[in-house]
């Protein structure tokens, strides 16, 4: 056994908890329903990329180590020895041809959770240096920024100053601001790079009369894509420390699917009870509309609009009705895709795939079912509450000639403010 295989086997064993054991067992009946649920399979018809086939590559290795019958009769049970060639194959099945979207899980009659098995594979590949390099670099950059935040503060404040001028011009209020490092605020808002995640939210907070402050850090956590919990916790720690230091009441995560899922559901598991609550900007906007803190004019968004459900937000976090309620108030012609909500198709670029440029053709092909959904609505504007999805949908629009504009929910809401 080579050193790299030995390290991989040790990492797999570390990850063999009850949840992995359950989903690496013989629950799968090979019924094929997961194949028809998978956008990769629908895009190319290759049975090797069907969820059951992908998870079997990992399950068979686990069986060889943890199932007594497989240890005695591996040929009978289809158990495999772990090899370097097998690990190389895992890069494709775990990173390139799986976006961890869980659509197969929702449609599985046995409840097999494919992302649990793929997550074990991803974490193992990361530990032995076989994960996509760009994702590792992005995760390390997020940690490095926290370690050198004082270097970035003045530059970021200068950039925010330009956005503040635009905010004052668009709101007509010379006192409108985008505060930073404001202690005791109601909200610490964690955005992404790009004015589209900061300025629309600032307009909404201003109109709602909210006491808020902007985080120095971005919401993204690329280590989650890697299955690297040590890095993921270090990245999340930045926001936890900032929110604690500023003594805010609430952390609001911008429109980013994996960030909302990570902070809303994983962070309390990692760090225990926190002195503030964590919510998505989607929930906050919905509450402002519902409670009358902001009023919206539907005629401000006259073009046909449809909504793309981010897998992390709708299927995994249950945030399906809130954005629709907002769009019903903010848009004159809202149209649903079919299927939608928890049954919606992945955009084809989730879980970090959108960042791996050499796999661009793969993600564009995987996005074909989503492109067809959009085309069938006749919508000219596609709204999504995930920045990864936003990027992918823009590329799909160009690739498949959809003639669409892609926006986030805050942009559409800010435009409709009365």
List pLDDT tens digits, range 35-86: 999 999 999 899 999 999 999 999 888 888 877 677 777 777 777 889 999 9
Instruction: Locate 148 and state its tokens.
Output: 């050198």
Mean pLDDT for 305-309 is 98
Domains, the chain, with CATH or none: 3-131 (1.10.1060), 135-289 (3.40.50), 296-415 (3.40.50.10700)
Sign of the dihedral through C-alpha 325, 331, 332, 337 = negative
| Statement: residue 27 has pLDDT above 80 | no
Please answer whether residues 261 and 276 qualify as being in contact, where contact means their C-beta atoms are separated by less than 8 angstroms.
no
In percent, the amount of the chain with pLDDT more than 70 equals: 100
In percent, the amount of the chain with pLDDT more than 90 equals: 80
Give the model confidence (pLDDT) of 159-207 as tens digits.
999 999 999 999 999 999 999 999 999 999 999 988 999 999 999 999 9
Please answer whether residues 132 and 138 qualify as being in contact, where contact means their C-beta atoms are separated by less than 8 angstroms.
no
pLDDT of amino acid 26: 66
DSSP state of 263: I
Give the whole-angstrom CA distance, residue 91 versus residue 216. Answer: 34
Give which of 365, 369, 312 is closest to 337, Cα–Cα.
369
Please answer whether residues 68 and 116 qualify as being in contact, where contact means their C-beta atoms are separated by less than 8 angstroms.
no
Give the whole-angstrom CA distance, residue 383 versus residue 307. Answer: 5
Annotate 66-106 with three-state secondary structure: HCHHHHHCHHHHCCCCCCHHHHHHHHHHHHHCCCCCCHHHH
Give the model confidence (pLDDT) of 263-294 as tens digits.
999 998 999 999 999 999 999 999 999 999 99
For the chain, first and last CA: distance in Å? 68
Q: For 17-26, 87-96, 114-123, 248-257, which range has the lowest pLDDT when averaged over its residues? A: 17-26
Please answer whether residues 108 and 33 qualify as being in contact, where contact means their C-beta atoms are separated by less than 8 angstroms.
yes
């Amino acid at each position: 056994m080579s050193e790299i295989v030995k390290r991989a086997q040790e990492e797999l064993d570390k990850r063999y908890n009850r949840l992995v054991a359950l989903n690496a067992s013989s629950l799968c009946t090979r019924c094929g329903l997961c194949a028809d649920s998978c956008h990769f399979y629908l895009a190319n018809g290759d049975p090797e990329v069907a969820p059951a086939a992908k998870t079997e590559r990992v399950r068979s290795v686990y069986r060889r180590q943890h199932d007594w019958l497989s240890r005695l009769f591996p040929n009978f049970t289809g158990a495999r020895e772990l090899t370097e060639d097998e690990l190389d194959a895992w890069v494709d099945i775990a990173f390139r041809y799986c976006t961890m979207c869980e659509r197969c899980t929702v449609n599985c009659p046995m409840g097999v959770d494919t992302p649990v098995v793929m997550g074990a594979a991803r974490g193992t590949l990361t530990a032995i240096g076989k994960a996509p390099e760009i994702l590792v670099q992005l995760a390390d950059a997020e940690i490095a920024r926290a370690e050198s935040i004082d270097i970035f503060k003045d530059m970021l404040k200068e950039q925010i100053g330009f956005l503040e001028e635009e905010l004052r011009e668009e709101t007509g209020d010379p006192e409108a601001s985008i505060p930073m490092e404001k202690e005791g605020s109601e909200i610490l808002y964690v955005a992404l790079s790009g004015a589209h995640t900061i300025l629309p939210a600032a307009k909404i907070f201003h109109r709602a009369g909210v006491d808020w402050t902007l985080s120095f850090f971005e919401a993204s956590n690329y280590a989650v894509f890697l299955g690297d919990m040590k890095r993921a916790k270090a990245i999340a720690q930045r926001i936890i420390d900032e929110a604690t230091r500023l003594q805010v009441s609430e952390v609001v995560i911008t429109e980013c699917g994996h960030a909302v899922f990570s902070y809303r559901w994983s962070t309390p598991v990692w760090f225990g009870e926190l002195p503030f609550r964590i919510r998505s900007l989607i929930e906050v906007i919905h509450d402002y509309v519902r409670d009358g803190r902001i009023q919206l004019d539907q005629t401000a968004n006259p073009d046909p609009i449809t909504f793309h459900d981010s897998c992390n937000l709708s299927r995994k976090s249950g945030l399906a009705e809130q954005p629709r309620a907002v769009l019903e108030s903010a848009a004159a012609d809202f149209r649903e895709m079919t299927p939608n909500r928890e049954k919606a198709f992945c955009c084809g670029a989730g879980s970090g795939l959108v960042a791996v440029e050499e796999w661009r053709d793969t993600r564009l092909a995987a996005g074909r079912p989503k492109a067809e959904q959009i085309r069938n609505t006749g919508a000219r504007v596609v709204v999504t509450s995930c920045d990864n999805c936003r990027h992918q949908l823009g590329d799909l629009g160009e690739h498949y000639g959809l003639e669409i504009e892609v926006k986030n929910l805050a942009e559409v809401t800010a435009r409709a403010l009365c």
